[in-house]
A and B are shown apart, each in its own frame.
Chain A
Amino acid sequence: MSKPVVVYEPYRKGLPPMGDYLRQLWSRRTFITEFSRSELREQNYGSVFGQLWLVLNPLLLAAVYYLLIYVINGTNDKARFGHLTATLFLFYLIANSLTGGVKAITSGQRLIMNTSFPRVMLPISATVVALFRFVPTLIVYFAIHLLLGLPFSWQMLWGIAILFIAIVMSLGLAILISCVNVYFRDISSMLPYLTRSLLYLSPILYEAGKLAGHIRRFEIANPIFYLLDAWSRVMVHANAPGLRAMAHAGIWALLIFSIGTYFFISRERDFAVRL
């Protein structure tokens, strides 16, 4: 008898054979890029005006905060404006990844019930879409940085490492929340409150150094607090990030990614019977 092309057996230890799983994931990488492209096209980013909106949207956000800081507040703090835009744009990478990821599985019901594929592809695609939407904001930030006359230095290359940590964290959060939403469908309704709370608890509208010491102690529980602080130091002030901030952000990212991925992959066999 010839060798079977594929064999399905019960999972041991709750996880599928990971080598095979990763191979399948890699062989379907085109899906992730195609999905992101289709998703952006569906959101009208395929048209000229849609693409323009990707740049206009962060510009408008920056304009709102310009109004807040320069006009209403009457200050002329260039670094504060730079800090606000830089951290806000990075925050939106994480928030968009969460909002895209939360329904990644529940809205993929038809595909999940009809096709065998590594389900983790769906939240990964949501993060890739968020990343596509983040890139133009980075260009807008550099334009603002230049216009404000903020400093440039080689230390800004630390931004690549911080961005990498932010992507790992976004991915972990998208994977985790997409799985949780299968079990509790109202998580997607609660998400705006969660992201709004995260926005206010993170050093975006204020700089981390301005926070009172006794409050700052609790920020160790905020996964993005030190990530955004490090991003601001690097991108706005062109300084090297603090080692403690990088370690905090890195450990949180790794933790969220590992827990989220383990939880997701060990549960994904349930998805077809729970949707």
Chain B
Amino acid sequence: MISLSDYNHAHEAQSIAVSVQNLGLTYTTSIDKKPTLKARLKSLGRGKKHTRVVRALNDVSLDVHYGTVLGIIGSNGAGKSSLMRVISGIIPPSQGRVEVFGSVSTLLALGVGFNPAMTGRDNVYLGGLAAGMSREDIDSQFDAIADFAELGEAIDAPMRTYSSGMYARLAFSVAAVVEPDILIVDEALSTGDAKFKEKSLNRMKELRTSDRALILVSHALATIEDLCNEVIWLNKGTLMARGNPKEVIAAYQEFMKVGKSASSDEDV
């Protein structure tokens, strides 16, 4: 989704797109997936803990320049998605500062489709409007989004009737068609069928221009190596390494001791 309507497409290559300074993120979340008042009342006086404090990011600093495709790797719980959500303004930081120098489009894990009872069309419009786009902006991009997603007449069907692949196609199309200054994609290239996966990868390659910055989170190390010209590795919220994709990925693999297993390198 576009999170800024303030477009600023004239960026010099190597000028800063995103500056992350001493970023820390600590939050409290509930232990139960769906906390209830009933459970809370039943456990009164038993000293049972209902929340836990998560330290998701710890003093992370990095600059992303225009013309860069930055890959972010790390094991589950490393803080990759948290970092993306702070950069996108979805979660405010607990410490430090994030400066963003352009319009951001995010495709974070769940993607578009906020109300499954509404049609794909309604969801695209609502998502766009929530993100700060104007109706005219969405009108002008809508046909391209629908074409790219290849949903045909299903675009006017309720999203609850969509398959997971259809969801993924629409989500990727919304994020990638609108041509943002900064595109953030989190674990979204691994969904959809093989044909659409290739199409999304090609689109990502098209978006690799000197006046755009791409940030890509994925467990698919081969894809990261193919697409990115810089990689960072996060572990338990701390920045472990940054630099050449091959070297950082090799260091990460060694750390994880995953060896050469092909299945662990590819989409999950």
Contact = CB atoms under 8 A, between A and B. Distances in A.
Interface residues of B, number: 62
B89 interface: yes
Interface string B5-26: 1101000000110010000000
A111 B135 contact: no
Interface stretch (B36-44, B238-246, B255-263): B36-44
Given A6-B99, A8-B97, A31-B130, 15 more contacts: A5-B4, A5-B102, A8-B98, A10-B92, A16-B92, A30-B129, A34-B126, A110-B111, A110-B112, A110-B114, A113-B85, A114-B127, A115-B127, A184-B36, A185-B36
A274 B32 CA distance: 10
Interface string A85-121: 0000000000000000000000111111111110001
B28 interface: yes
By DSSP majority rule, is chain A's interface helix, strand, loop, or mixed? helix
A108 B97 contact: no
Contact of B129 (A4, A34, A183): A34
Contact of A272 (B30, B35, B91, B103): B91
B194 interface: no
B89 A31 contact: no
Contacts of A115: 1, 3, 88, 90, 106, 127, 130-131
Interface in A1-37: 1-2, 4-11, 16, 24, 27-28, 30-31, 34-35
Contacts of B36: 184-186
B75 interface: no
Interface of A: 1-2, 4-11, 16, 24, 27-28, 30-31, 34-35, 38-39, 41-42, 107-117, 121, 183-187, 190, 269-270, 272-274
A273 B54 contact: yes
Contacts, number: 150
B242 to A, nearest CB: 20
B126 A184 contact: no
A16 to B, nearest CB: 7
Contacts of B87: 8
Contacts of A6: 4, 89, 99-100
B129 A28 contact: yes
B209 interface: no
Nearest to A6: B100
Contacts of A1: 15-16
